[in-house]
Amino acid sequence: MTGKKELGESAPDLLYSEAEDDLRAAVRALLAVRADAASVLARTESAEPLDRGLWKALGADMGTAGLLVPEKLGGQGATHREAAVVLEELGRSVAPVPYLTTAVIAVETLLGLGSEDAEVSGLLGALAGGRSIGVLALPLSAASGGEPATGVRDAGGGVLSGTVTGVADAVGADVLLVVADTGLYAVDAADAAVTPLVPLDLTRPLASVTLDGTRGTLLADSATAHAAVQRGLLAGAGLLASEQLGLADWCLTETVRYTRERHQFNRPVGSFQALKHRLAQLWLEVVSARAAARNAADALATGSPEAPLAVAVAQAYCSRVAVRAAEECVQLHGGIGMTWEHPAHLYLKRAKADAIALGTAGRHREAVAALVDLPAPR
């Protein structure tokens, strides 16, 4: 059971600072130009699903790739709160960039190894500067708290063999962080066989990664690697809630806008009582999701011992809200919501894919039950 807050201990800060609001405005302005609905749709139909030009502008030029990396290693020295703001905006645009996988999961995993090793600090510097895309070679469904068994074996001397399926953003990766039976290895993506898969969410490509006698550089032994990977997956799940929040917020805002403009029987459809009730209920759920996501980001940023609980609560709740908001968006847009040209389907697919990413809502509810020592719902 997690420890309770002592009397006088500061409560989580769920509000946005002025610096966070400025960051949001800058990211939103960039995405409005570079990741509008037409651009994202066109990207999903192209041979290269990841938008490297946008990633350079967002990650390198704007510096968001290094928000979680200390300044001494070439990063911005910010916190999970700022990274959460970026992910909210990426959720609002479903932009096809590897922020979650590279700037959060991979970076947090490497930070968990310590920065004393020259190889680790070099990788962190490259990721922070946006010069390289690094991906933790685990299935997108992998959750913190479990054993990240990949089936990759070390034949000796860092010669790796095995296949990992369902790895997000591996198609555009430069470096793969591979969990093997003897530890964590850095593998040049060009030396691995990366086979694209057909994902539900076309804005976050999946691939299978096959290593066949591929040489990797040992970064950490098994025990150290396990703790670091758990750190990366926990941070990823916690900040994924902010992406889900941004997605749900866009769906709500867009649906309210559409129902105000769409007329039936010479009146806006949004004026019908039944739709008012549905949208009001969705608004309440999005507001609650914001509180849960911000609490998780703040807990991660402050290193709170309650972080695992905050992350589990955020994922268990925000996952469901994102799916519901996307479903309402499609349905209340009527016939146009079912077309390929309207972006509503991109949000529904992202919401559904996110619902099983880094642990399902059911798994996180079980984690909540275990953390507070209560029976889990069946």
pLDDT in tens, 87-125: 999 999 999 999 999 999 999 999 999 877 889 999 999
Q: Whole-model pTM?
A: 0.93
Count CA atoms within 13 Å of residue 144 on its CB side.
25
240-252 mean pLDDT:
97
Q: How many CB atoms lie within 10 A of CB 216?
A: 24
Q: Contact, 354 vs 245, CB < 8 A?
A: no
pLDDT at 3: 41
Contacts of 168 (CB under 8 A, 6+ apart): 98, 100, 101, 135, 140, 204, 205, 206, 357
Q: Are strands 183-188 and 175-180 parallel, antiparallel or unpaired?
A: antiparallel
Using 50, 70 and 90 to split pLDDT, how confident is the model at 72?
very high
User: Which parts of the chain fold into alpha helices (H)?
Assistant: 18-34, 37-44, 52-55, 80-93, 107-111, 118-128, 222-261, 273-302, 307-332, 344-354, 361-371
Instruction: Round to whole Å and give the CA distance between 327 and 82.
Output: 28
pLDDT at 377: 64
Helix or strand run (H / E) with residue 202: none
Q: Contact, 353 vs 104, CB < 8 A?
A: no
Q: Does 263 or 105 have the greater pLDDT score?
A: 105
Q: Which of 75-89, 232-246, 266-280 has the lowest mean pLDDT?
A: 266-280
Q: How many CB atoms lie within 10 A of CB 174?
A: 15
Residues 139-155 pLDDT 10s: 999 998 877 767 899 99
Contacts of 37 (CB under 8 A, 6+ apart): 342, 343, 346
pLDDT at 114: 85
pLDDT at 273: 76
Residues 178-207 pLDDT 10s: 999 999 999 999 999 999 999 999 999 999
